[in-house]
Amino acid sequence: MRFVIPARLSRALAGASQHGLHLAPSLHALAARPLFAWSTLARSLPACSLLACSMLACSSAPVTSAAPPAALTTPDVSAATEAGHATSSPLPEAAPAPRPPDAARGGRLYDSWRTERKLSSTISFDAASTPELDGKGGPNGNGTLNDGSGRPLPNTGHDYRLRSFFGWDLRGKQGLSGPDYQGESHVLERNLLADERSAEELRAWLASGDEQLPAYGEVLNAQDLDDLTAFLVQSREGKLARPEQVFQLDTKAPGNYRLRDGADPERGAELFTFVCSDCHGNDGRKLPFDAGHTLGTFARARGYEAWFKIQNGLAGSPMKGQIVAQSGADAAQTVLDLLAALCDRKQFPGRDFVGVQDVPDGDPRCGKYLK
């Protein structure tokens, strides 16, 4: 039996194309899915948020509103050859047109720039457990990055990750990583969500560093810095989901957080089917990771990290950002719905791995969503 995309979805797809939005081919392939699922999804999603379904978990082609890059042109060397002028090698191709900043990629660089840039084979960080500067590669050849004054900045366990300096919620000492909650020793004072500096000032700061922050301009290129800046600015301005829209801090809860009220777990389960199941399986157990976690056990135990990776993707992997919505609030609602759905231990169970335990009954991280 052949199924047809309902009219509402057809109009959404057509409208996206008219506005220059490029949808992953996987979305059109979903036309073969059962009609009841499409119609249920149509009722639960606004047309603009439907675009989230265009990016499956392993898709490397997220939705973008950018114009297609200009076609590359290669100089014609045949005329010179025919005229008797030897050519030892073809002339260089024209450089590709610069692309707009990619905020989701900026989030992955924030998480782990070395992994996202695939630099692990060339930069081995200075070991935090030894007083010597004993790494390899990088601007100093010993696995360190320089601070804003050009002095080597030892690795105290932060591995030069922005996530380590400012936390999964970007709020530094005021947030989840601060002394009132998880108490990470290397977290810095600055709250990036309250930072009032301009985009140009933020980019210059990232490139040059300061007395505590590495000069990332020594290891990242211009496009990397543009992407990082876009991530910070769009997070601050609410164009991306903000952490406080997804979870709240709680000193009494394991992990020091709990999911917000207002989620729709049924909608989240439908979204999981269309966005995540191709890679993670229908029950989230297809790709165990992080010492044996399934997607369910990971989201239930570390929702404060899972929200970030749902929105921005997993650094260095084929998984790109999974959420495209009209506003940051819409994106946050989608992330919250997905996390609430993953709180169902029967639908998204764990696996029998040593050392990985699921959350117990009554665990406050999932709260009322826990089943």
- Specify the CATH number for the domain of residue 283: 1.10.760.10
| Residue 260: domain span | 247-369
Residue 174 included in any domain = yes
Q: Are residues 266 and 340 in the same domain?
A: yes
Q: Is the domain of 184 the same as that of 264?
A: no
Q: Is residue 264 part of a domain?
A: yes
Q: Decide if 37 is inside a domain.
A: yes
Percentage of the chain with pLDDT > 90?
59
Two tokens, residue 100 = 């707009």
Using N-to-C axis directions, what is the helix angle for 303-312 and 103-116, rounded to 10°?
Answer: 110
What's the pTM value of the predicted model, to 2 decimals? Answer: 0.75
pLDDT by residue (tens digit) across 219-271? 999 999 999 999 999 999 999 999 999 999 999 999 999 999 999 999 999 99
* Number of domains the chain contains: 3
Regarding whether 271 and 210 lie in a shared domain, the answer is no
Residue 214 lies in a domain: yes
Distance from C-alpha of 35 to C-alpha of 1, rounded to nearest angstrom: 10
Residue pLDDT, tens place only, 174-220: 999 999 999 999 999 999 999 999 999 999 999 999 999 999 999 99
- Check if the beta carbon of residue 5 is closer than 8 Å to that of residue 31: yes
**Section 1-9 average pLDDT:** 40
With a pLDDT cut of 70, the percent of the chain lying above it is 73
263: which residues sit within 8 A by CB, 6+ positions away? Answer: 333, 336, 337, 339, 340, 369
Q: Are residues 164 and 264 in the same domain?
A: no
Region 76-100 average pLDDT: 51
Tokens standing for 233? Answer: 């600015």
Q: Are residues 204 and 317 in the same domain?
A: no
**Statement to judge: residues 257 and 324 lie in one domain:** yes
Query: Domain for residue 97, yes or no?
Result: no
Q: How many CA atoms within 13 Å lie on the side-chain side of 7?
A: 0
180/273 same-domain check: no
Closest among 195, 203, 197, 240 to 221, alpha carbons compared: 203
Say if residue 265 is in the same domain as residue 321: yes
